[in-house]
Amino acid sequence: MKTITTTAELAEACTHFADHPYVTVDTEFLRETTYWPKLCLIQMAGPDDAVLIDPLAEGLDLAPFFALMADTSIVKVFHAGRQDIEIIYHLGNLIPAPMFDSQVAAMVCGFGDSISYDQLVMRLTGARLDKSHRYTDWSRRPLTEKQLTYALADVTHLRDVYHALRANLEEQKRSEWVQEEMEILTSPETYYTEPSRAWKRMKLRIRKPKEFAALKELAAWRESEAQARDVPRNRVLKDEAIFELAIQQPQTQEALSALRSTSKGYERSKSGHDLLQVMQKVAKIPVEDLPDVPKGKTQPEGSGAAVDLMKVLLKLTSERHGVAAKVIATVDDLEKIACDDDADVAALKGWRRELFGQYAIKVKTGEMALRLEGKRVATIECEAPEIPEKKQAAKRRKKPRVSQNGTSQG
């Protein structure tokens, strides 16, 4: 089993793969001590060949690989490929297209939520994969034959999985459904956190505009530092420290050193100096320019019951049509539909509306009911109930009847 270690070998292999309609792709990487994934191995397979690429080999230029990923005449097949694509985006400044993710396709085909690769291979091909090297250190060299065999299986079996899922999608006329899902995987925002938006990753535990302003600035500073230093966010500053800083807002070294979340001497470090500058910047923000604290979700009275009903309908729809529930609608979708029939959510658009959204609104408005038939839930159409306010309006519009003695009657 040969592993590619030179640019010439890689260029030759990529030229060969470029003659085929698709290529299956997987990567092995480490991320425990870095912000960006550290690429350790690339696996690729076409209809008649498969290769391993060692990106840690001295002098190896990955340009031919990135050119292949950018070739729009070739479908790039991944399984749960978000982190693989993130690596390609970070190192090659591109997102592979067109793309096919077998985990997403499997959910559309009725294989459940987020099925693992080995389970999908077993169900579609009957093969059982050896996953004993799942947690191996892929940065160590040399890699053993068993490790290489394990890695290669991730793309060779993916060929059969791809063919089976594509046939299933075409038979059920659901190929376009998967393409809609690919829009998320092909968006650069999926793979890069803009520092100014980093605060959105955190659970808000603050109530004052000044604290929120500090939180946003601190989260942005931490994200920039983590990206520049290529270390995990928590290695720069833990979430708890950000919250304490946002609330206490120290302006001096003495005040910074008094915080529980900072270590001894931190106030004299470069990071401590930078944090004080952030705090001083926040202190200068005029009151009228402070950002509003985002309000938590407030659901109208009764919307919780509507969401519960729609959850039952979602489960029924998922089972009836063989599509994973999380692909059809999220809980956030249901909560928004409960408040607004025209909510801007995926569940009320395209095939999802046809499959589920239109009926979710009917359940909410009482035009459709749920009932048990034996051990199964079923739907029944109902007449739309008249809204009490409309009843009162109709009553007020109704002309009084006049009796024979001239008095009005209601």
Q: What is the pLDDT of residue 180?
A: 81
Q: Across the chain, what does the average pLDDT equal?
A: 90
What number is the average pLDDT over the span 353-370?
93
What is the DSSP track for 348-383? GSHHHIIIIIHHHHHHHHTSEEEEEETTEEEEEE-P
| Domain of residue 244, residue span | 195-289
Asked if 27 and 42 count as a contact pair (C-beta separation under 8 A), the reply is yes
Domain-terminating residue out of 239, 264, 289: 289
Q: What is the pLDDT of residue 402?
A: 45
Q: What is the pLDDT of residue 30?
A: 95
Any domain includes 241: yes
Q: What is the pLDDT of residue 409?
A: 46
At residue 396 the predicted structure's pLDDT band, cuts being 50, 70 and 90, is low
Q: What is the pLDDT of residue 163?
A: 98
Instruction: Indicate if 47 and 186 belong to the same structural domain.
Output: yes
| Residue 295 pLDDT exceeds 90 | no
- Give the residue with greater pLDDT, 299 vs 212: 212
What number is the average pLDDT over the span 148-154?
95
- Exposure string of 384-400, with b = 16+ CB inside 10 Å and e = fewer, is eeeeeeeeeeeeeeeee
Asked if 263 and 244 count as a contact pair (C-beta separation under 8 A), the reply is no
User: Which candidate, 337, 349, 387, places its Cα nearest to that of 367?
Assistant: 387
Instruction: Indicate if 30 and 174 belong to the same structural domain.
Output: yes
Any domain includes 103: yes
Q: What is the pLDDT of residue 388?
A: 54
Euclidean distance between CA atoms 286 and 171, whole angstroms: 61
Any domain includes 391: no
Give the H/E segment covering residue 272: helix 270-283
Euclidean distance between CA atoms 331 and 307, whole angstroms: 8
Q: What is the pLDDT of residue 284?
A: 96
Cis peptide before 250 (omega within 30 of 0): no
Instruction: Indicate if 85 and 205 belong to the same structural domain.
Output: no
- Give the residue with greater pLDDT, 135 vs 214: 214
What number is the average pLDDT over the span 63-73?
98
Domain-terminating residue out of 289, 313, 347: 289
Q: What is the pLDDT of residue 45?
A: 97
At residue 75 the predicted structure's pLDDT band, cuts being 50, 70 and 90, is very high
User: Which candidate, 99, 87, 96, 2, places its Cα nearest to that of 49?
Assistant: 2
Instruction: Indicate if 180 and 320 belong to the same structural domain.
Output: no
At residue 401 the predicted structure's pLDDT band, cuts being 50, 70 and 90, is very low
Euclidean distance between CA atoms 366 and 363, whole angstroms: 5
Euclidean distance between CA atoms 384 and 35, whole angstroms: 54
pLDDT tens digits, residue range 300-318? 666 889 999 999 999 999 9
What number is the average pLDDT over the span 143-168?
96
> What's the pTM value of the predicted model, to 2 decimals?
0.84
Q: What is the pLDDT of residue 171?
A: 95
Instruction: Indicate if 185 and 200 belong to the same structural domain.
Output: no
Any domain includes 172: yes
Percentage of the residues of the chain whose pLDDT score is greater than 90 = 77
At residue 135 the predicted structure's pLDDT band, cuts being 50, 70 and 90, is confident
Q: What is the pLDDT of residue 377?
A: 80
Any domain includes 400: no
Percentage of the residues of the chain whose pLDDT score is greater than 70 = 91
Give the H/E segment covering residue 99: strand 99-101
Instruction: Indicate if 201 and 186 belong to the same structural domain.
Output: no
Instruction: Indicate if 47 and 157 belong to the same structural domain.
Output: yes
Euclidean distance between CA atoms 314 and 308, whole angstroms: 10
Q: What is the pLDDT of residue 296?
A: 67
Instruction: Indicate if 209 and 181 belong to the same structural domain.
Output: no
What number is the average pLDDT over the span 370-392?
71
CATH code at 79?
3.30.420.10
Instruction: Indicate if 165 and 200 belong to the same structural domain.
Output: no
What number is the average pLDDT over the span 186-195?
91
Any domain includes 227: yes
At residue 386 the predicted structure's pLDDT band, cuts being 50, 70 and 90, is low
Tally the residues of the chain: 410
Looking at the 3D structure of the chain, how many domains does it have? 3
Q: What are phi and psi of 283, to 5 degrees?
A: -60, -25
Euclidean distance between CA atoms 234 and 222, whole angstroms: 9
| Residue 133 pLDDT exceeds 90 | no
Any domain includes 152: yes
Asked which of 127-136, 230-239, 320-329, 389-398 is least confident by mean pLDDT, the reply is: 389-398
What number is the average pLDDT over the span 247-267?
94
Q: What is the pLDDT of residue 389?
A: 53
Instruction: Indicate if 271 and 334 belong to the same structural domain.
Output: no
Any domain includes 54: yes
Using alpha carbons only, give the angle 181, 76, 15 rounded to the nearest 5 degrees. Answer: 160
Asked which of 65-74, 89-98, 209-218, 365-374 is least confident by mean pLDDT, the reply is: 365-374
Domain-terminating residue out of 289, 311, 333: 289
Instruction: Indicate if 143 and 199 belong to the same structural domain.
Output: no
Instruction: Indicate if 90 and 73 belong to the same structural domain.
Output: yes
Tokens at 341, concatenated: 């029939």
Q: What is the pLDDT of residue 206?
A: 87
What is the DSSP track for 181-201? HHHHHT-GGGT---GGGGGGG
CATH code at 233?
1.10.150.80
| Residue 80 pLDDT exceeds 50 | yes
Euclidean distance between CA atoms 153 and 115, whole angstroms: 17
Q: What is the pLDDT of residue 406?
A: 43
| Residue 390 pLDDT exceeds 80 | no
